[in-house]
Amino acid sequence: MKHIYLNLKRFDVPPEYGGVNRLAPVQSWGAAVVSATQEELKKYDPAEVEFVQYLPEAHLLAAAAARCPGSPVKLGSQGVYRMNTAPGGNFGAFTTNRPASIVKAMGCESTLIGHCEERNDKKGVLAEGGCADMAAVDRLLNQEIQCALDQGLSVLYCIGETSEEQADWENVLGRQLDVGLAGVDKSRVVIGYEPVWSIGPGKTPADKPYIQKIARFVKERTGGMDVVYGGGLKADNAAMLASIGEIDGGLIALTRFTGQIGFYPEEYLEIIRLYLGAPAT
């Protein structure tokens, strides 16, 4: 099974507010993403590949309503809180947070946990409190994974090393895997590898041998879990990533990096074609 994930981050913000959304008005943006992609994605065999789109929470209801019968698009949230509602327990005291129960109720089947941007946020909060124990981040993420799985969601769990951690990548990634996955049902989790040191303008992208090395390490450490490339599946690396047998898919975000940068559905579909090949007709 291949996994193609789409993290739409905050691509809903219009240009006049500093964002990159040229696709649709904010009110209909989530629906526009689903409507522009689901028919083409129907052409792929659902037994061979799944398509999950992670949207900001405000757009999930419109996106769910836009799904047609038999839609191949699975929806996901960009995270869940480390505690959840429960019958006879906490029924809603979660101001500013996103319990897994509402994610499920809004029509999601999956959630994204441990993305490098989430890790950075948690590191920053812990640092303000004087905590330098990076395993604390992984323990918090483990609680999020447990809540998601208990609610019946699948999980894309991201791991990765920064430039400062790269020389010690084995210990860093090993800790993120061991602590983050402690006690969880691994059959409903896919690992997304993000080489944080290589992501961003002016940085040298991770090459095939490095990605293959990490994927092999993850599979050995986890007993063969699926691993997708989370450093950005793009048009210019799709063929290379497709040639790595240990990689089981990828995470797409921006589709255009020059000019009017942003996410464009046709370019998203083209990246998928470059990675998977043209769909059967």
CA dihedral 103, 37, 200, 115 (to 10 degrees): 20
The Cα 62–Cα 34 span in angstroms is 9
Contact 33, 271 (CB under 8 A): no
The residue behind tokens 């509402």 is 102
Which of 15, 2, 19 is CA-nearest to residue 56?
19
Give 188: exposed, middle or buried? Use CB within 10 Å, 0-12, 13-18, 19+: middle
Q: What would the DSSP string read from start to end of 160-210?
A: ---TTTGGGHHHHHHHHHHHHTTTS-GGGEEEEE--GGG-STTPPPP-HHH
- Classify 213 in phi/psi space as left (phi over 0), alpha (psi -120 to 50) or beta: alpha
Which are the catalytic amino acids? 115, 194
- Classify 57 in phi/psi space as left (phi over 0), alpha (psi -120 to 50) or beta: alpha
Around 239, how many Cα atoms within 13 Å sit in the side-chain half-sphere? 1
Tell me the pairing of strands 2-7 and 249-252: parallel
The Cα 18–Cα 38 span in angstroms is 28
